[in-house]
Amino acid sequence: MQLGFDAMPRKLIKVTPSRLSTWMDCPRRYRMAYLDRPTPPRGGAFAHSTLGAVVHNALRAFFDLPVRRRTPEAAAALVGQHWIDEGFAGPQQAATYRDLAAGWVSDYIAETDVTDDPIGLERWVSAPIGTIVAEGRVDRIDERDGELVIVDYKTGRAALTTDDARASQALALYALAARRTLRRPCRRVELHHLPSGTVAAWEHTEASLTRHRERAEEVADEFKLATDTLNAGGDQDVLFPAQVGRQCSWCDFRRSCPEGQAAGPQAEPWAMLARADEVKG
């Protein structure tokens, strides 16, 4: 007897934290970013994104150094080596934030035990979990007392809280994928906010990880259904509506979205930088 189509196993949906957050932020932006071909033109670089990328790249390069060379001075120098000026108002503003970033990274390393090699740096993790394949690139994975710890670097305006770590779907999915990929327990997730020198941490339980997984499955089902309906001839504007708000001011696809343009003026590329006098230098 042949099995019917209803008995066939369901194809798992690949998700990354970025896909999930993009869909929840704005279905139209999701369509433009992941479905439209060719992809609509994107806007220019934003200074806060440049700043974050430089810090991430410098820390990645730092932990690739031999232990004897892992000094605060070396960390600060790597910021300079990886620096680019994209998105800043001009050379003076860029230089100010380059120096700030070097100070953040130097102070961070001075307060961090860097004698052990991380288990992963910018490590890609991917694993089937429930009805999805959760995957993504983790900034750093440590091992402490036999368990994995997910570390995510942040360079935004405000210091983060325990609630931020607890509520982060990205960190929870990284923990789930990391423990399947690397075959070790993983419950603890941490947000390392370099401008303030603070760490927000959370110890997940199986119940809390399950809640994050189930929410991710719900969102994945939503964008999978919309995508399948679009491919079957559905109306893209109905299936992927614009969700307007403050985020329209800095959306990559603003120039291709009349509703986003009407929502408010375009933000300057440096508008989301923290004021230099507000952050720890």
What's the pLDDT score for residue 274?
Answer: 78
Lowest mean pLDDT among 5-14, 65-74, 124-133: 5-14
> How high is the mean pLDDT of the chain?
94
* 8 A C-beta contact, residue 28 and residue 240: yes
Domain boundaries of the chain, sorted by first residue: 120-213
Confidence of residue 170 (pLDDT cuts 50, 70, 90): very high
Model pLDDT for residues 188-223, shown as the tens digit of each residue: 999 999 999 999 999 999 999 999 999 999 999 999
Model pLDDT for residues 75-121, shown as the tens digit of each residue: 999 999 999 999 999 999 999 999 999 999 999 999 999 999 999 99
Lowest mean pLDDT among 124-128, 182-186, 271-275: 271-275
Class of domain 120-213: alpha beta
Q: pLDDT above 90 covers what percent of the chain?
A: 92
Confidence of residue 236 (pLDDT cuts 50, 70, 90): very high
Confidence of residue 152 (pLDDT cuts 50, 70, 90): very high
> Comparing C-alpha atoms, which of 179, 174, 166, 159 is closest to residue 17?
174
What letter represents residue 67's amino acid? Answer: V
Confidence of residue 280 (pLDDT cuts 50, 70, 90): low
Residues 2 and 162: their CA atoms lie apart, in Å, by 53
Would you tell me how many other CB atoms lie within 10 Å of the CB of residue 64?
Answer: 13
Model pLDDT for residues 33-72, shown as the tens digit of each residue: 999 999 999 999 999 999 999 999 999 999 999 999 999 9
**Residue at token pair 């609630």:** 163
Confidence of residue 278 (pLDDT cuts 50, 70, 90): low
**What contacts 51, CB < 8 A, 6 or more positions away?**
97, 101, 155, 273
